[in-house]
Amino acid sequence: MAEFGYLSRQGDRMVVVENTPRVHNLIVCTLCSCYPWPVLGLPPVWYKSAPYRSRSVIDPRGVLREFGLELSTDVEVRVWDSTAELRYLVLPERPAGTAQLREEQLAALVTRDSMVGVAKVSPPQPGSFS
């Protein structure tokens, strides 16, 4: 991440967890609001809210459904509750049909929500990189 200029001002240790077709990771802080500031900025209100913090650990699939993401039962869900000074970041799954895209085109597809794990990265809209 330092290579891309994301230096941790807070000195937080970053841990990147990778989403695959078999594993889906979700980040939460049930006790307060820990969030990877150096990379994603300050957290949105929903991330700090009681509904998200309370249910992400007991019903992550229900939480993801509220974000419009239905996971297949054969996908393993791993929830990361940020209880220490480690900051978690999801490496989203690369969407289908992006083999030809350049780095900056891929970067443009990645969203904050996909790096928290509440969304997947959507494939590019037809014609968006023409």
Min dist. Cβ of residue 100 to other proteins (A): 30
Strand spans (E) along the chain: 13-18, 23-28, 76-81, 86-91
Min dist. Cβ of residue 51 to other proteins (A): 4
In the set 29, 56, 82, 114, the catalytic residue is 29
* Strand partners for 13: 86
Residue with tokens 């006790």: 31
Min dist. Cβ of residue 23 to other proteins (A): 9
- Positions touching other proteins (CB under 8 A) are 9-11, 13, 15, 28, 30-33, 41-42, 44-46, 48-61, 63, 66-67, 73, 76-86
Give the three-class secondary structure for 50.
helix
